Amino acid sequence: MHPEGEAMSNTRVALVTGGTRGIGLGIAKRLASKGFNLMITGRRSHDEAELALAQLREQFSDGSLNVQYCQADVADASHRERLLADVEATFGRLDILVNNAGIAPTIRADILEASEESFDELISTNLKGPYFLTQAAANWMIRLQEQSKEHRCIINVGSVSATVASVNRGDYCITKAGIAMATMLWASRLTQYGIGVYEVRPGLIETDMTKGVRNKYDNLIEGDLLLEKRWGTPDDIGIAVAMLASGDLPYSPGAVLTIDGGLTLRRL
């Protein structure tokens, strides 16, 4: 472990939850390109995560990037504690937390019929997990800020579902609305310590999670659903997160970046 007060490495460190595929991997790749050392985490085994790790390490064939994986479920308090301990033992510091890990309901059920089990699972993973991971990470970041004033921030990956109602996945929408409020709460609390808190709010992003509705939205995209008539990509989200992580959006506590091709832009 790195005792507090011991000199830290000059290389900044980002922790990306759910960072082995989809949006999380797109974010990790962009942070790697900015020179961040990375801890990525997810529920998959180390063997299952190895392909993603290899892709990240290929960006720096000279070995200058240190990217590590910790198998952890953010819904589990003991996993969150072990994850941060792993970051400290490996890097001795934490500059950026990206709360990206999230799940969709296994069954898209009308809210008149949806189960409590699905609701509890989504609340635990999508809302409670990142809320309390933020709490623990923020307390550590505050101590680090006392040692060296640097740009440190927490970035929540939300969704347009925070404000756009989908009655066949109400539990998901509620978790993302909660993430929107959590961003405001943590920004209100942490700005005084020089710790930024932001939300990146994706729209329709082409990932494994959206495979099941691909045909439906292909047709809507061809219509007038979006202004920019294409699926978003994980890299689109990665670009926004990397900008925030680099400190390139000053004077903007609690800022929400909506990356949705114009989906939620009000139009007549």
Counting Cβ atoms within 10 Å, is residue 19 exposed (0-12), middle (13-18) or buried (19+)? buried
**Of 250, 258, 197, which Cα lies nearest the Cα of 232?**
258
- Give CA–CA dist 159/162, Å, rounded: 6
Catalytic residue among 69, 131, 172, 198: 172
Which sign, positive or negative, has the C-alpha torsion 156, 237, 11, 126? positive
Question: Does the active-site annotation cover 172?
Answer: yes
Across 97-107, b (16+ Cβ under 10 Å) vs e yields bbbbbbbbbee
Biggest alpha carbon distance in the chain? 58
Query: Would you name the residues annotated as active-site residues?
Result: 172
